[in-house]
Amino acid sequence: MRVLEVSNYEEMSALAAELIGAQVLLKPRCVLGLATGSSPIGTYERLVEAHREGRLDFSQVRTVNLDEYCGLRGDDPNSYRFFMDHHLFSRVNLQRENTHLPNGAAPDLEEECHRYEALIQSLGGVDLQLLGIGRNGHIGFNEPSDSFPPVVHTVQLTESTIQANSRLFERIEDVPTQAITMGVGTILKAERILLIAGADKRYILEEALTGRVTPQVPASVLQLHRDVTVIVCREE
């Protein structure tokens, strides 16, 4: 595991984009695992800049996102499909049919979980998985629990996660309480993992990277992966 400390969010975003861009250059038909939330927005901005300057070509890249809210269609402004379209997909030359997220509006969520897990494996697995980390140590929407979920599954969001995500909604009552997420086992199958974290996550990040491996701190499982790079900010 490599832990890279940078001064601020801008440096973190630039370095993360460089690492993702290197993956695309190394393997143009790679599979990128992508994340949502505030942490990766700057990274996506840098990737868009690189594309516009002719330094990155996404035409062959396939993407799979970590998660999606249950009950939201892809055209809902609060959905993660909408987020990805807005911040990345529509701004580079990704082929829409090569961008994949769970369908949170599927009539049978259990079947959708099976479908999405199979889809990821059918693509040959993830070459580089981008992650953030929650204040309670969650990765994707894998909340603290008694075990590490092995595959894509639905999850009941904790009150702390709902509170954290409520800033993106008009009312906290509008925040979905369930999501479909890659399982910890699914995430660990990625060839490489890149985790980015702001200064406000330093406490939980230290616990995850140096404490015991436990599903009560889901990110702690990353200690077991063979190729993890962590970029953390010293200040906001």
pTM: 0.95
Please identify which of the residues 49, 76, 85, 136 carries the catalytic annotation.
136
67 catalytically annotated: yes
The pLDDT value given to residue 52: 98
Pick 137 or 170 by higher pLDDT.
137
pLDDT 10s digits, 188-224: 999 999 999 999 999 999 999 999 999 999 999 999 9
Please identify which of the residues 67, 68, 117, 127 carries the catalytic annotation.
67
The confidence band for 169, taking pLDDT boundaries of 50, 70 and 90, is: confident
Query: Is residue 129 within 8 Å of residue 192, measured between CB atoms?
Result: yes
The pLDDT value given to residue 161: 83
pLDDT 10s digits, 46-104: 999 999 999 999 999 999 999 999 999 999 999 999 999 999 999 999 999 999 999 99
**Nearest Cα residue to 72 out of 183, 175, 153, 181:** 175
138 catalytically annotated: yes
**Token output for 142:** 């894998």
The pLDDT value given to residue 146: 96
Three-state secondary-structure class, residue 72: coil
112 catalytically annotated: no
Pairwise CA distance, residues 111 & 203, whole Å: 37
Please identify which of the residues 68, 112, 117, 143 carries the catalytic annotation.
143
| % of the chain surpassing 90 pLDDT | 89
Please identify which of the residues 103, 138, 142, 153 carries the catalytic annotation.
138
The pLDDT value given to residue 166: 82
What strand order describes the sheet that includes 153-156?
67-69, 178-181, 153-156
Domains contained in the chain, CATH given: 2-194+223-233 (3.40.50.1360)
